[in-house]
Each structure stands twice: as C-alpha cells, then as structure tokens.
C-alpha cells in the first residue's frame, strides 16, 4: 500500500529531518568541545603563595577544613559547593595576599596591627578572610575567630539574661558556650602544645573556682559545661591570651567577620522581662570590641565589614565610615584598609573555567551575559550558576 504524501505528512517529515540534523550538529559540537582546566597552584600552604599565583585556585585539605571551619567561617553557599565538588578550592586574590605578606614582615614586638577588609556585598571578603585564617593556622597562631557577628544579634529566640557580673549588661549564655566550642575546636591541639595557664584565681560562686595555673583548655571546658558563666569565660580567655601574647608565650590572630554589626542601632534580642537590648548592652559585644584594641603585641587583628551585616540599617554604602560610624572608626584607628573588589577579568574567567571543569556549566557560551548579570561579584556568580 503506497503512502499518500499529503501536505501535513510532508511537513512532519521535514520537521523530523530538521530535528535529526540539529541533534547531529549538537553531537559534533560536544565531541569538538574541550573541557577547560582551571588554573591552579600546587602550593597548598598559603605561606608559599605570591603575586604570581593571583587568580589561581589552591586546595585546602579536608582535615584542615574540618579543623578551622567545621564550626563556622565559610559562607553557607560556598560550603554547599565544596560538598558537591568534593574539594575546598579557594581562589588566591590580592587582598588576602596583601594581608598575608604584611603578616610575614610584621614586627610582633610592637602593638597588634589592625586590618579592615571592606567591599560590596558578595565581593569575596569572607573567602579572603578564610585564606588569611588558613595562613595563621598553618603558622601556629591562636585563632580568636568570630565567624559572623550578626548571628549573635539576630532573632529573639535566644536566651538572654541580665549579667550577674556586669551591671546593666546582658548575657547570651548559650551563644557564648557555642563560641567557646568553636574556639576549642580550632585551637585545642595548639593550646595543649603551648600549655598556657591562667595567671590568677577566678571565683564563679561560693563552690566554683578556677585556681591560678589552670590550663586554658580547662577554663574553656568550664564555660562550655557551665553556660551560665560562658560570657565571663569568653572575656577572661581574651585577657589571658593577650597577657600570654605580650609575654611572648604565643601569637594570636583576632578575626571578626561582620564587624560593623557591633555598631548597629538595635538587635532582635529581648531579655526574660521582654526588654530590648542594644549591641552595646551585650557582654559578648564588649568582649569583641576589646579584642580589636591594640593593647597587646605578638599578634594581628583582621576585621571584615559588610552592608549585609547591617541588619536592615546603613546598607546604602559599603564604605567603613558609613557602616561603623565615627564611633567605630575612632575605636579601631589606626588601621590598614584593604578593599576587596569585584573579580578581575582573569579571576572571572578562571572561576568559570573551574565550573566548566567540574561540569557544573555545560556550555562555553554566555560569559558576557554572566559578566553583565553578576557585575563580576563571586557570590552573585555562584548564585547564578547554582542548581535550580
């Protein structure tokens, strides 16, 4: 039986041939497509990085990632990406190298030098801080690291109590205990090696005391187990570390992300009697502000400001004077400002090469469109390339 080629049948046959041609062309293009390789360095010790390595990736081994960042310090989207790619690859950028090179040449017998990383939201400040933290950890600095200040001050579901040791101040005991766990996780091995002890007796109650000569690990464990005293332990720990640094017993890096949240006008926190508290009324905030004073030596201070940390206030500009105000500016003066800009062209292309190497991006086209849509901000690029 002969097939009668009606106009409708002819159209269907042409459409089928056209579809086959498209499929064949796509297969040929796929065969010709060479998966790019992102530029990397084999030097995984951040102390070995130099200006020739800028825009390239280096890999942090899983054990080090767990030791430094297991309890905080990396942005959540970046952490999720590292799990999907089964590696923690960090791009080497000039702002982090500037601080690291400065730390290498610092005279630690002088008061602690302050650095302030600033830039637009999503420009990569937290990752630059992570690079600096890795250097400090590898160089056996004690890390006094506050991963992200706004977490302390957001949401009213936290337990907030009036302090028994500081009149008119409020404690956030569970958050302080959580931070002590973070500090212990990062520094336990180094504190055991240095065998640092308390310089005086501390009386918590009629039955609880910490005698002179107690190891700092035991002091921290007391604050974790007795959360009621965690905020005081956090403050005492800072003072003891400053003393040991000044006596050349150790080196310390104070690193605070979201520093400008200390100068927000309000918080979401309320005490048990439903009284709103400001950042200046919180004991942990006062400890954080004390940490950035350069009244000690054998260390350095790195702060990060971000419009996102402003908690719905002062978001219009990323400049430090706008985010921390004159009071904050005077508190940390003098300091070295380090701007974290958007990605350079080389950095932007290498990041896309990395995504294509991981088959996260399937096509080479669209780079100009991504550059326009993201303004070459790494966090925005990560979000645009994220799964649906």
Quote the mean pLDDT of the chain: 89
List CB contacts of 224: < 8 A, sequence separation 6 or more: 177, 180, 181, 184, 230
Residue 303 and residue 259 in contact, taking contact as beta carbons nearer than 8 Å: yes
Q: How does DSSP classify residue 109?
A: T
- In what helix (H) or strand (E) does residue 118 lie, and over which residues does it extend? strand 113-118
pLDDT digits (tens, 9 = 90+) for 64-107: 999 999 999 999 999 999 999 999 999 999 999 999 999 999 99
The rounded distance, in Å, linking the Cα atoms of 322 and 148 is 19
What is the pairing mode between strands 142-146 and 252-257?
parallel
CB-count burial class (<10 Å; 0-12, 13-18, 19+) for 371: middle
The rounded distance, in Å, linking the Cα atoms of 227 and 233 is 9
The rounded distance, in Å, linking the Cα atoms of 375 and 83 is 26
pTM beyond 0.85: the answer is yes
Residue 113 forms beta bridges with which residues? 300
pLDDT digits (tens, 9 = 90+) for 226-249: 999 999 999 999 999 999 999 999
Taking each helix axis as running N to C, give the angle between helix 230-246 and helix 173-194, from 0 to 180 degrees, rounded to the nearest 10.
30
Residue 261 and residue 307 in contact, taking contact as beta carbons nearer than 8 Å: no
The rounded distance, in Å, linking the Cα atoms of 201 and 63 is 36
CB-count burial class (<10 Å; 0-12, 13-18, 19+) for 9: exposed
pLDDT digits (tens, 9 = 90+) for 145-157: 999 999 998 876 6
Residue 170 and residue 269 in contact, taking contact as beta carbons nearer than 8 Å: yes
pLDDT digits (tens, 9 = 90+) for 5-47: 565 565 566 666 666 665 555 555 554 557 788 899 999 999 9
Q: Tell me what pLDDT residue 284 has.
A: 95
- In what helix (H) or strand (E) does residue 129 lie, and over which residues does it extend? helix 125-138
Q: How does DSSP classify residue 375?
A: T
Residue 338 and residue 356 in contact, taking contact as beta carbons nearer than 8 Å: no
The tokens for 275 are 């009284």
């Amino acid at each position: 039986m002969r097939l009668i080629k009606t106009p409708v049948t002819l159209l269907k046959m042409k459409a089928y041939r056209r579809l086959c041609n498209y499929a064949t062309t796509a297969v040929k293009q796929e065969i010709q497509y060479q998966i790019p390789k992102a530029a990397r360095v084999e030097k995984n010790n951040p102390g070995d990085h130099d200006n020739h390595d800028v825009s390239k990736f280096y890999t942090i081994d899983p054990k080090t990632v767990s030791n430094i960042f297991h309890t905080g310090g990396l942005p959540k989207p970046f952490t999720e990406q590292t799990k999907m790619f089964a590696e923690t690859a960090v791009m080497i950028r000039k702002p982090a190298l500037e601080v690291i090179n400065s730390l290498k040449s610092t005279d630690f017998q002088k008061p602690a030098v302050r650095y302030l990383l600033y830039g637009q939201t999503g420009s990569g400040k937290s990752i630059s801080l992570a690079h600096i933290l890795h250097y400090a950890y590898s160089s056996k600095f004690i890390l006094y690291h506050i991963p992200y200040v706004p977490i302390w001050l957001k949401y009213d579901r936290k337990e907030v109590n009036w302090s028994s040791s500081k009149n008119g101040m409020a404690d956030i005991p569970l958050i302080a205990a959580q931070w002590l766990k973070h500090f212990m996780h990062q520094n336990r091995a180094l504190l055991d090696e240095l065998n640092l002890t308390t310089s005086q007796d501390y009386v918590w109650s009629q039955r609880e005391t910490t005698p002179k000569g107690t190891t700092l690990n035991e002091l921290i464990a007391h604050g974790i187990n007795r959360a009621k005293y965690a905020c005081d332990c956090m403050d005492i720990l800072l003072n003891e570390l400053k003393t040991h640094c000044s006596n050349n017993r150790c080196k310390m890096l104070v690193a605070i992300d979201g520093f400008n949240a200390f100068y927000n006008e309000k918080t979401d926190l309320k005490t048990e009697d439903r009284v709103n508290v400001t950042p200046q009324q919180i004991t942990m905030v006062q400890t954080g502000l004390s940490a950035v004073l350069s009244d000690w030596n054998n260390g350095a201070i790195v702060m990060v400001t971000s419009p996102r940390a402003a908690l719905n206030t002062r978001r219009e500009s990323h400049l430090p004077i706008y985010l921390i105000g004159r009071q904050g500016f005077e508190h940390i003066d003098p300091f070295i400002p380090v701007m974290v800009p958007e990605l350079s062209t080389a950095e932007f292309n290498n990041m896309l090469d990395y995504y294509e190497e991981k088959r996260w991006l399937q096509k080479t086209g669209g780079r100009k469109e991504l550059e326009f849509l993201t303004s070459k901000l790494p966090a925005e690029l990560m979000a645009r390339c994220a799964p649906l």
